[in-house]
Structure 1
Amino acid sequence: MDSAGGTLYLKDEDIKLVINPGSIEEGKKIQISLENIWDKTSDPVLNKFETIVSPTVRCGPPGTVFKKHCILSFPYNAVNEEWWEFTLLVKENFQDEWRRIKLGSDDKDIHFYLHNGQCVVNLIHFTNVTLLGYTINIMKAARRVKFGVFGKHSLNKYQLRVRTWNSESNMEVTEDAKLFGEKLVEMATHIDLLYEDLVVRVQDVNNGWQISEASKTQTFSADDLWTKIPWRVFKFTRSDPPSDVLEATISSSQATNVFQLKISCETRQENIRSKVHFWYFISALTVVVIGLIIAWTFDNFQAFLTSHSGIALFLSGLIVALITYSIMWKLVKSATPAQIVACVFLNMSLYYLGVWMCFGFVHPLTTVNIIIILSVYIIAFLVAVVLFGEIVLKFVPFIGLLGSVIFIKLMS
């Protein structure tokens, strides 16, 4: 900008900076920036009953001095203003301490007032700015926040994460949801919360889903509501008969302040099924190549490939892989982990037995060998499921077939 001045406006956040004509010297140009800082590491230290009620706004370059006052305006979320005390917090650089300016202060460089839900700041030099509120009466002072429910599903479970946050924290909440792999299910945009505990309950869960009694009710503390972006997790499991839709009511209450959100979540596992479909064949193809490379070191490899044992081994591996995949693909929509694991164990056990029978002439097939090898395989698979969850299902054929090749190598 130059001496003519101008306006910067962050539309989504409703933050505006006006550089009045004559604020910049004639013949001089300044590159002006306006930013909503959502990195909470820059937030000030708060006392009891204090909370940040606005975005933290950065005007740049920091420390830039103007000939006339510039006008910065941004929204705040304090409700029932007569029960609040407001203080403007300012600092020029990251390493500086926040300086407090009371409403009505006679500071010549920077002063502010509140009008129609906007904090209007007149400043002679650029700085970081945010509005702090102190609760005079905790029974009447309130903050207007968003209340949202985010969802994430796995094979036979669905998880709901309930959050409350200020409008200026939208970016932080969006990034947090991406980190957890969640999607927004439902949101209320204008909820007035007091400084007291918020009790959240899950009610009216439809048939096909269940949640334990112990986790149906959870509480947000008053301090968390005032100083953080708190969340609580509710975990659902499928029940018989299974349903592709999870429906429930999320009820929240503070004394007489009660509100509800009705949610409906699509929980079809088509995406997971397609991943299982893709990874099953990719991992099976990979292990065939690896298996051939390893098997090439066997004595009389070419003779083995053309023998009845080699043909039987190839066919048994192919048949078992197809059977295991087809059953998993059919059951993955509603199967429990126990059903899937049982399916895998059954088919892989048959495959191992087939391999041992083919190579019985090299090493005797004994009961002890069967018990030892199957036990090791089952324990290893259970540990993998516990540690890595459903991702293990992608590599079932890889684990089974590679294990078979290694076993053949050891036995021969």
Structure 2
Amino acid sequence: MCSHESSIQPAQFLLVVGVPVASALLLLQCLRWHCPRRLLGACWKPDSQEEPVAHPTPLPEDEPSRGCPPATLPEMAAFYQELHTPTQGQTVIRQLMHKLLVFSAREVDHRGGCLMLQDMGISLLIPPGAVAVGRQERVSLILVWDLLDAPSLSRAQGLVSPVVACGPHGASFLKPCTLTFKHCAQEPSHARTYSSNTTLLDAKVWRPLGRPGAHTSRDECRIHLSHFSLYTCVLEAPGGREARKWLQLAVFCSPLAPGQSHLQLRIYFLNNTPCALQWAMANEQPHGGRLRGPCQLFDFTGARGDQCLKLTYISEGWENVDESSCQLVPHLHIWHGKCPFRSFCFRRKTASESVNCSALASEIIVTMHTFQDGLETKYMEILRFQASEEESWAVPPPVSQPPPCNRLPPELFEQLQMLLEPNSITGNDWRRLASHLGLCGMKIRFLSCQRSPAAAILELFEEQNGSLQELHYLMTVMERLDCASAIQNYLSLSGSPAPLRGGAHENPGLELDEKL
């Protein structure tokens, strides 16, 4: 009997002691999961010890901290309601729920419609018949200027386009809709579109959409959508090939005022897309910065080092106040499309510091060289900046937004782009069309720096809400009968003949050659 009792005692001991100990350990683990570290330390520290100060772990430079509380349901409802409220053809730039967004929204019926973000190179086409007869659907087109929403990329991958969302998320139509936006990959077959089947406020889950090059042309991504979601484009060169993309180098500074002692230049390294330049302009607006001259293109490769910006010349009467005349931009900041910039600050010398300085310091001339580390002797771009006190820096008056634009059919757009792109000795190419649209010489020079000036001027014509009939008339006046014939052929197939206004009466000898 005694031996039986002694054999039971260990089991009883485990029940009496083991269960409370296990419960205590489980409770401690729960506290570690759910209780903040400082609070947990305060609960367990001895009275004689001071509470240690918790230092937050620093985030990488390209991943800024948000510190934003989670959104409540009413906040989320208000967020999406504002995005999908019709904007009457206007493009709106607004910060909503800690995201900087550019968006436009409208109602679409069975006749279809087009949304375009002004100056961004982004459009959404809803074809006729995509919405059932008798129904109206609200649709929105959104450019996401929040860099944290872009895909997480490897060192071999480069971001070559913006992040674009079509809303409402998950909406589907009777016919595929067409989303179009710009990319800056040098080789379109290396550009691969990605999609995140999530809402704007959810964590993004990016997945490839088809094979590389499936949705890309020379400088454009065109995706036929079965439903609405988020989209972007990533550069992925095949093994053994070098991936490259086009950058645009944009110089900004504030006006040079009489008596001003310092002047700062800021040089942005941007993807060569319209929306990247517009982001830089929006970023400069609070500081009074203005774009100085046309942007310069730069051939940027993913297999090289950091980008160097070297100050090589400052005009008499000014001096560089920075510690160094050479600055570096981390390679991945450019390759992953973070829109970085570097700045130089210059001080105007006083009359006692330089002979005849007062006569020269009213103007500043700066020359900079930029190149990828290790390639200075092979490839380099020269940036020149000049400003004087006499220049007019008046901000142009605000221009009212036009109504929803007419979108040129993609096939006709590409045909006209091919015909207008080659430079003519007489200038009767895209430059003549730009003049007819009212562009000045400086804007035409700016367009000449784009990858496809002809495409840029045709997009400007679209943004001015031009019709095919008007474009046909302009081509006839320009005596570009090949372009006029292409437009007339398209209009004939669609059952809408092109009226020959004005130009045909002024030039009775002109006839369209259908063989062109």
Contact preservation (8 Å) 2:322, 2:345: no
Q: Partners in 1 of 2:266 and 2:240 — Cα distance?
A: 27
Contact preservation (8 Å) 1:77, 1:143: yes
1:356: which partner in 2?
A: none
Q: Structure 1 residue 112: deviation in Å?
A: 5.0
Structure with more of its chain in helix, by fraction: 1
1:238: which partner in 2?
A: 348
> Map of 1:383-398 to 2, 5 A cutoff?
none
Contact preservation (8 Å) 2:121, 2:182: yes
SS at match of 1:23: coil
Contact preservation (8 Å) 1:89, 1:132: no
1:127: which partner in 2?
A: 229
Q: Structure 1 residue 170: deviation in Å?
A: 2.7
Identify unmatched segments of 5+ residues in structure 2. 1-107, 394-516
Pick one of 370, 381, 388 that aligns with 1:259: 381
94-103 or 30-39: bigger deviation: 94-103
Contact preservation (8 Å) 2:185, 2:191: no
Contact preservation (8 Å) 1:246, 1:267: no
Counterpart code for 2:195: L
Pick one of 292, 299, 324 that aligns with 1:185: 292
Q: Partners in 2 of 1:161 and 1:263 — Cα distance?
A: 11
CA RMSD, aligned part only?
A: 2.8
2:493: which partner in 1?
A: none
CA displacement 1:227-284 (0-9 Å, x = unmatched): 211111212122222411110112112312211121112257999xxxxxxxxxxxxx
Q: Partners in 1 of 2:260 and 2:216 — Cα distance?
A: 51
> Map of 1:79-94 to 2, 5 A cutoff?
79-81=186-188, 84=190, 86-94=192-200
CA displacement 1:186-230 (0-9 Å, x = unmatched): 342432212232111112211101125842111112111112111
Q: Partners in 2 of 1:181 and 1:236 — Cα distance?
A: 17
Q: Structure 1 residue 103: deviation in Å?
A: 3.1
Counterpart code for 2:276: S
Question: Structure 1's 138 and 217: CA in aligned 2 closer, same or farther, altered over 3 A?
Answer: farther
Question: What is the TM-score with the length of structure 1 in the denominator?
Answer: 0.58
1:219 and 2:325 are equivalent in the alignment: no
Q: Partners in 2 of 1:248 and 1:14 — Cα distance?
A: 32
1:314: which partner in 2?
A: none
1:17: which partner in 2?
A: 124
Question: Structure 1's 99 and 157: CA in aligned 2 closer, same or farther, altered over 3 A?
Answer: closer
Question: Structure 1's 212 and 238: CA in aligned 2 closer, same or farther, altered over 3 A?
Answer: same
Using CA pairs below 8 Å that are at least 6 residues apart, which structure has the higher relative contact order?
1
Pick one of 165, 170, 180 that aligns with 2:277: 170
CA displacement 1:144-163 (0-9 Å, x = unmatched): 12101122468412211111
% of aligned pairs identical?
A: 24
Structure with more of its chain in strand, by fraction: 1
Question: Structure 1's 5 and 181: CA in aligned 2 closer, same or farther, altered over 3 A?
Answer: closer
1:53: which partner in 2?
A: 160
Contact preservation (8 Å) 1:112, 1:122: no
Q: Partners in 1 of 2:209 and 2:109 — Cα distance?
A: 32
SS at match of 1:100: strand
Counterpart code for 2:178: I
SS at match of 1:172: helix
Question: Structure 1's 247 and 88: CA in aligned 2 closer, same or farther, altered over 3 A?
Answer: same
Q: Structure 1 residue 113: deviation in Å?
A: 1.7
Q: Partners in 2 of 1:139 and 1:233 — Cα distance?
A: 33
Q: Structure 1 residue 41: deviation in Å?
A: 3.4
Larger radius of gyration: 1
Counterpart code for 1:131: C
Q: Partners in 1 of 2:368 and 2:322 — Cα distance?
A: 15
CA displacement 1:282-313 (0-9 Å, x = unmatched): xxxxxxxxxxxxxxxxxxxxxxxxxxxxxxxx
Question: Structure 1's 135 and 212: CA in aligned 2 closer, same or farther, altered over 3 A?
Answer: farther
Question: Structure 1's 139 and 194: CA in aligned 2 closer, same or farther, altered over 3 A?
Answer: farther
Q: Structure 1 residue 138: deviation in Å?
A: 9.3
